[in-house]
Structure 1
Amino acid sequence: MRKTTKLALAFVALAGAVGTTAYAENNASAKIREGMMMRLNKAMSDSDGTITFDQFSDAMDARLKKLVADNGGKLTVAQLADALEKARFERMAKRIIARYDSKGDGTLTTDDITSREKKVFAMLDRNNDGKIEKSELPKGDRFGRHRKSDDDGNGGDMQ
């Protein structure tokens, strides 16, 4: 396999992982609000359409309260950061495994990775000659994201 092909495949794998991370970080606050509203709506639907402070409190930050309780009633910055980092990376790991897991068994194998790479390679090899040429690579800054020209000629905003 030529060095440029290896580099292209490595780029594809890296772009997928980085893209997932960037997307997750950009939507974090919206997801937090959405989760909060879902918990409040559930609490209201479980009662008569109103909730007490205790029901509100239970619905809001049950995981945070559990972390505090699990750590003797006090939670340090380091403990919270570790828990948040672990949760974030677990979500990322689930998305990556879901993307690559060809058998649907929740595990990642070398065969799964190779299968995914073959699919991406086939997608990029538009003329089906078994090689990816520079002209076959997506244009733009990232896969699926292209620059749009604007009137002032500075390249425009990302699409």
Structure 2
Amino acid sequence: MRKTTKLAIAFIALAGAVGGGAYAENVDSATMRERTMMRLDKAMKDNNGTITFDQFSDVMDARLKKLVADNGGKLTVAQLADALEKARFERMARRIIARYDSKGDGTLTSDDISGREKKLFAILDKNNDGKIENRELPKSGRFGRHRQGGDDENGMQ
């Protein structure tokens, strides 16, 4: 195996372990490989079917490299943890706003929250009596209940 091929494979493994795990929380390794291959395929197409190591390196963990550069060429555990936490919470915030934002303007209002709660209440109130009874709640799934020892079917002990 050529030295450049070995180096490329080692770099992919390192990038996947460090950058992939850092930026793709809860994403399985198959998805990470797929995303990496998509970036590499795009780089190949953009460069007439071949890429140099420098081009390959540019494709891999640009965000991680930017963090290092933004922090004077060195990244501490605390700095990386802060960046990861910020990225994670920004992803969560985008998902929450997308879920609740009824006007599609990228903001969250009290009306958006009330509207979503009303829809959810209507889904759970199966007999439309304006009340959710214990038997109307799903036994499992997203709104499922976890029974504790001794509970009867009405949730009473």
Tell me the TM-score normalised to structure 1 length: 0.71
Contact kept in structure 1, 2:43 and 2:59, CA below 8 Å? yes
CA distance in 2 between partners of 1:130 and 1:30 (Å):
46
| 1:111-126 → structure 2 map (5 Å cutoff) | 111-126=111-126
CA distance in 1 between partners of 2:107 and 2:29 (Å):
29
CA distance in 2 between partners of 1:105 and 1:47 (Å):
38
Q: Which has the higher contact order (CA 8 A, sep 6+)?
A: 1
Q: How far did residue 129 of structure 1 move?
A: 0.7
| Aligned position for 1:90 | 90
Percent identity over the alignment is 79
CA distance in 2 between partners of 1:89 and 1:69 (Å):
22
Contact kept in structure 1, 2:101 and 2:107, CA below 8 Å? yes
CA distance in 1 between partners of 2:113 and 2:91 (Å):
19
Q: How far did residue 48 of structure 1 move?
A: 1.4
Instruction: Provide the aligned length of Structure 1 versus Structure 2.
Output: 123
Unaligned runs of 5+ in 1: 1-23, 147-159
Contact kept in structure 1, 2:100 and 2:113, CA below 8 Å? yes
Q: How far did residue 33 of structure 1 move?
A: 2.7
Matched residue SS, 2:94: helix
Q: How far did residue 73 of structure 1 move?
A: 0.6
Matched residue SS, 1:26: coil
CA distance in 2 between partners of 1:34 and 1:93 (Å):
25
Tell me the TM-score normalised to structure 2 length: 0.71
CA distance in 1 between partners of 2:144 and 2:110 (Å):
29
Unaligned runs of 5+ in 2: 1-23, 146-157
Contact kept in structure 1, 2:137 and 2:143, CA below 8 Å? no
CA distance in 1 between partners of 2:82 and 2:28 (Å):
17
The alpha-carbon distance between structure 1 residues 87 and 39, as it changes in their structure 2 partners (threshold 3 A), is: same
Matched residue SS, 2:131: coil
- Report the residue type matching 1:53 in the other structure: F
| Aligned position for 1:20 | none
Q: Runs (4+) of structure 1 moved beyond 6 Å? A: none
| Aligned position for 1:66 | 66
RMSD (CA atoms): 2.2
CA distance in 2 between partners of 1:33 and 1:96 (Å):
27
